[in-house]
Amino acid sequence: MGTSRGRFISFEGIDGAGKSTQHAWMIEHLRQQGRRVVATREPGGTPLGEKLRALLLTDSMHLETEALLMFAARREHIAQVIEPALARGEWVVCDRFADASFAYQGGGRGLSWKKLEELAHWVMGDLQPDLTLIFDAPVAVAQQRLHAATAQPDRFEQEQAGFFERVRSAYLRIASENPGRVRIIDATQTPTVINKVLENIVASL
């Protein structure tokens, strides 16, 4: 009997929404349930991807270069980490995936949705997360949390509120267009309440 394929969960949201805290909680939760879990992130997740991440978070570049590098790192990540782990029956829990490119490069920076769809088709083929959790909070709330927690904001975190409003709207659009895959999590709730919500959602995956 072959190993059954694992599950792929991605975590999304504007900077400061609290997604990384919940990502860490989810990994712990799944491991306690006896699942084999690969904890990973984008941009990054491979040695080459982490080098690209360092460039993406610090160096200014043309918008399309930014999108291409995000997808280049993703291509490597899928080939080296995500697909092999899923094939081994492991659960991949990823802090950001392709929706972030649509939200940030598309919504935030204004790159055409069509170009992003072409890149996604090229790089991902049929691969999509089984579940995407979008942590949603008003931009003012997220910015306050971000400023309290981050001493040295990166290139994205330095963007103005209007940028994050556009990113947030794009995430909400993605959620409404993909109701089977995407769940919106109200990130203004307490961490303990959010844990319970996530526990219920993954129980049925």
Interface with ligand TYD by CB under 6 A: which residues? 15, 20, 42-43, 70, 95-96, 100-101, 104-105, 154, 156-157
Query: Considering beta carbons, is residue 154 or 165 the nearer one to ligand TYD?
Result: 154
Instruction: Give 84's strand partners.
Output: none
Query: Considering beta carbons, is residue 6 or 45 the nearer one to ligand TYD?
Result: 45
In the complex, minimum distance from the CB of residue 157 to ligand TYD, in angstroms, rounded to a whole number: 6
Nearest alpha carbon to residue 103 among 58, 33, 40, 156: 156
Query: Considering beta carbons, is residue 7 or 53 the nearer one to ligand TYD?
Result: 53
Q: How many CB atoms lie within 10 A of CB 155?
A: 14
Angle between the N-to-C axes of helices 19-32 and 191-203, in degrees from 0 to 180, rounded to the nearest 10: 50
In the complex, minimum distance from the CB of residue 202 to ligand TYD, in angstroms, rounded to a whole number: 20
- CA 197, 161, 141, 144 torsion-angle sign: positive
In the complex, minimum distance from the CB of residue 89 to ligand TYD, in angstroms, rounded to a whole number: 25
Q: How far apart are CA 39 and CA 58, in angstroms?
A: 24
Q: How far apart are CA 68 and CA 82, in angstroms?
A: 19
Query: Considering beta carbons, is residue 31 or 109 the nearer one to ligand TYD?
Result: 109
In the complex, minimum distance from the CB of residue 102 to ligand TYD, in angstroms, rounded to a whole number: 8
Q: How far apart are CA 79 and CA 96, in angstroms?
A: 17
In the complex, minimum distance from the CB of residue 184 to ligand TYD, in angstroms, rounded to a whole number: 18
Q: What does DSSP assign to residue 108?
A: I
Query: Considering beta carbons, is residue 37 or 146 the nearer one to ligand TYD?
Result: 146
